[in-house]
Structure 1
Amino acid sequence: MKSSIGKGSNLGLWLLTALVVGNMVGSGIFMLPRSLAQVAGPAGVLSAWLLTGAGVLMLALVFGNLAIRKPELSGGVQMYAKSLFRENSQSSTLAGYIVAWGYWAANVAGNVAILTTFVSYLSTFFPIMTSSANLFTIANYPVKVGSFISFLVCSALLWLTHSLILRGIEETGKMNFVATAAKVIGFLIFICFTLFAFEKSNMLPLIQPRLDSNGVHVGLLGQINNAAVTTLWAFVGIESAIMFSARAKNQKDVKRATVLGLIISVIIYIGITLLVMGSLNQHELVNADKPLVDALMKVVGPSASYVMAGFDLVSLAGTTIGWIFLSAEAPHQAAKQGLFPPVFGKANRKGVPVWALTITNSLSQLFIFSVISNTINNAFNFVMLVATLSYLVPYAVSAIYQLKLVISGETYENGKGRVTDGIIAALGTLYSLWVIKAGTSDMKTFLFGVGMLVVGLILYPFVRKRRDRVSSQQTHVNGVLREQG
């Protein structure tokens, strides 16, 4: 059942597709070429792209199938987690809460990766933002000039975006659409110039040595594992249409937008990555703060790179709007389903979840302090990894729920499509579990992810108590109605 939302907040196919493309093709396209080069050689990078593309396609089809077969489960991936168990049971509530919490925490961290990418490209126009000169010292820790300025810019962009989203749902969708169009124009400019500067020698040899944090040699399979987690960050956002399904004009548009958005994003990602790898040698790529701008600067010169940086900033601004919007929508829908405190469910007269937005951005502000304590590159890599792994839990749960439907036969009365959907769901589940295993091999990342879930479990008893009270009241009302009948 579609939720009650503000006037003018229904999203059509193209606005949903723009949200999917805008959210996926965001900070990843601008920073991933460098991040990938740090963990894998060209062969490892290309193999990871192919495996990730195939895996995410399975997840996209899962999301699309569920949107059509279970249109009543609109409002977020946590609904699929709840439906794995008996309705209104403690297991159902806990599963839905854990997935909603993990997804929200991932968004809070992921927003910082997008904001730091914006700052990195803004430094093209303001080189002082990369200054390593000491500004002042806090607890014997020196704060660099560039880090402090980056912190201020990230904070300003966060709260400016906050004020823009408060203008309304449809206005936010339109702004994201315009920014996505600017993004595509910028990519076309990049492709036109770098296509003719592609040097095959920059990608040779295909298999190159890489070392882990302990200085141990990493083979090709290990490089693919490491790169697979990184490439998945590029496709985080594939669920965007699902998260806004309660605001969709037509549930069929959710599947269409998901698959169409994935196809557009895959073409953009692989094409741009290959062109960057062909324009910069491996040493230049590993040390590039702004891979796309640096590649264009090498090919054309500073003037064209400034134009590219301008388009990139507009694009990243749109991505910021889309992701912060999504970050508030997730706990808002969870609250309306009784899985989050009721304050998150409140919206203003334009349908904007104002309290969810404010609390989400306040927590993102705390994460922004990582910009002061790290370089932009390190801050981006860390929050990207933590956020990506957090997203995998709801992805895996959604695929498992699709498997449950296939096995039970629910929604497959005539049996049509049951085998195909079963294969897709199984592959999507295996892919998600594989990437989780690959990403949690680093103990620091594993413990940080576990820590975020533990914090969520501390708050769960309050959610359960409220839900039990509501259920008790509903049972009482139903009993009175039966007596009157």
Structure 2
Amino acid sequence: ARLARMIPRAGGPYTYSRQGFGDFIGFLIAWGYWISLMCGNAAIAVAMVSYAGVFWPALSNSSGVAAAVAGGAVWLLTIVNVMGVKMAGRVQVVTTVLKLIPLILVATVGYAFFHPGNFVPLNVSGESNFAAITATATLTLWAFLGLESATIPAGDVIDPERTIPKATVLGTIFTAVLYILATAAVMGIIAPADLVASTAPFADAAQRMLGPWAAYFVAAGAAVSCFGALNGWILNQGQIPLAAARDGLFPKPFAKVGRSGAPNTALIISSIFVTILLATNFTRGLVGLFTFIILLATLTSLIPFVFAAAAQLIIFIREKKRFEGQRLTGASIVAVLAFLYSLWAVGGSGQETVYWGFLLLLAGIPVYVWIVWRRAKSEE
């Protein structure tokens, strides 16, 4: 929120990191965050298919059908976003209202069916409490990814210096309270052994609460929730490469916009990669696929968080005159804590996730070299 007030430009973590560290780190953060968005969209599409499987069992039994439906949702919402930010915003408002109803139902009525014994023992991993918390920190953070999303389309927001910080803080507080209440209720309703095997935990919890009709109601709400989240993230997956391309740090085609002002090329190329990721990983099964992709998405989003937190401190130090008379102690402490937490969460991602995440991040370096070469050649 503080960075959004300081740098009210489109690009979010990419823009802040570039301001603090320069072009190369800015490119790597844009590249890594773009990967995070594409991985996240694949994971959300998988979650949507899991809940839709309550109505259409073939989605849970056939990886081919599931991949086709997930890919279809990605491309439908890509078309919506190509039509412009206003159209994407209308879809977002409708899906947000619809998804709140089942979430609030579980977060309130669910406690009448709550069994505290489901939390005992609290740690079933066989590891120490610290090791167990570290291992699950990255998975937990997945639920809160997107808190930075309001900063990304800053160029299309009215009065971004005030609107974005307010949306970020209030949205995070409301979401955190609702998510904690709802997920705790689900964990109290369903026994741990059953919860681990569930592909639609909210629907299963609703069925145990109020019967089969509630399972269908909540599953529909969860599928709509995933559809709405996918819409918002597809918006962002076009905005990040657009901002970087305008700064000369991504290939020029990503800077092209259509008549609606949407970054059509960036949206289409991004969705192609999301589709490939879905098609090549559905053999893991829905639960295994979802877990792997959200770990990869969270890891690749944590790297921008690390650099954005450090960038805030660098900007404070480098631009002292700009902040004369302002108290920066609190903001600096928050930045340090965010930096340390992000590093800790990276450590909890697991060896396979860290391997693939950093491999994908480093794969961007040849692209940056090519961009610098093209830029130098054009200036000759």
By percentage of residues, which structure has more helix? 2
1:47-446 → structure 2 map (5 Å cutoff): 64-71=1-8, 73-85=9-21, 92-131=22-61, 146-206=62-122, 208-210=123-125, 217-251=126-160, 252-410=162-320, 412-439=322-349, 442-446=350-354
CA contact (8 A) 2:256 2:263 kept: yes
Q: CA deviation at 1:337?
A: 1.2
CA distance in 1: counterparts of 2:220 and 2:301, whole angstroms? 30
Residues 282 and 337 of structure 1: is their aligned pair in 2 closer, same or farther, counting only changes over 3 Å?
same
CA distance in 1: counterparts of 2:237 and 2:37, whole angstroms? 5
CA contact (8 A) 1:151 1:371 kept: no
Q: Which residue of 2 aligns with 1:139?
A: none
2:163 alignment partner AA: D
Q: Which residue of 2 aligns with 1:452?
A: 360
Helix, strand or coil at the partner of 2:55: coil
CA distance in 2: counterparts of 1:199 and 1:315, whole angstroms? 26
CA distance in 1: counterparts of 2:375 and 2:13, whole angstroms? 19
CA distance in 1: counterparts of 2:118 and 2:361, whole angstroms? 42
Q: CA deviation at 1:409?
A: 5.0
CA contact (8 A) 1:405 1:411 kept: no
CA distance in 1: counterparts of 2:321 and 2:253, whole angstroms? 35
CA distance in 2: counterparts of 1:257 and 1:411, whole angstroms? 28
How many residues of Structure 1 are paired with residues of Structure 2 in the alignment? Answer: 379
Q: CA deviation at 1:339?
A: 0.9
Q: CA deviation at 1:288?
A: 1.1
CA distance in 1: counterparts of 2:279 and 2:10, whole angstroms? 35
Q: CA deviation at 1:254?
A: 0.7
| Cα distance per residue 1:237-286 (max 9 Å; x no partner) | 11111111111101211100110110011011110111001101111111
| Cα distance per residue 1:160-215 (max 9 Å; x no partner) | 11222222211111210111111111212223431211111221233x331xxxxx
Give structure 2 stretches of 5+ with no counterpart.
none
CA contact (8 A) 1:182 1:311 kept: yes
| Cα distance per residue 1:308-364 (max 9 Å; x no partner) | 111122221111111111111111111111110010010101011100011000011
1:173 alignment partner AA: G
CA distance in 1: counterparts of 2:319 and 2:364, whole angstroms? 34
CA distance in 1: counterparts of 2:229 and 2:71, whole angstroms? 16
| Cα distance per residue 1:104-159 (max 9 Å; x no partner) | 0111111110000010000100112222xxxxxxxxxxxxxx11110111111111
Task: Compute the TM-score of the two structures, normalised by the length of structure 1.
Answer: 0.75
Q: Which residue of 2 aligns with 1:141?
A: none
| Cα distance per residue 1:218-241 (max 9 Å; x no partner) | 111110001111111111111111
Q: Percent identity?
A: 31
1:323 alignment partner AA: W
Give structure 1 stretches of 5+ with no counterpart.
1-63, 86-91, 132-145, 211-216, 474-485
1:264 alignment partner AA: F
Q: CA deviation at 1:411?
A: 5.7
CA contact (8 A) 2:107 2:178 kept: no
Residues 347 and 407 of structure 1: is their aligned pair in 2 closer, same or farther, counting only changes over 3 Å?
same
Task: Compute the TM-score of the two structures, normalised by the length of structure 2.
Answer: 0.95
| Cα distance per residue 1:68-126 (max 9 Å; x no partner) | 1233x4433222222224xxxxxx22111101000001111111100000100001001
2:137 alignment partner AA: A
Helix, strand or coil at the partner of 1:368: helix
Helix, strand or coil at the partner of 1:150: helix
Helix, strand or coil at the partner of 1:340: coil
CA contact (8 A) 2:10 2:239 kept: no
CA distance in 2: counterparts of 1:315 and 1:427, whole angstroms? 31
CA contact (8 A) 1:161 1:320 kept: yes
CA contact (8 A) 2:20 2:315 kept: no
1:106 alignment partner AA: S
1:235 alignment partner AA: F
CA contact (8 A) 1:409 1:415 kept: no
2:5 alignment partner AA: I
Deviates further, 407-416 or 280-289: 407-416
Helix, strand or coil at the partner of 1:420: helix
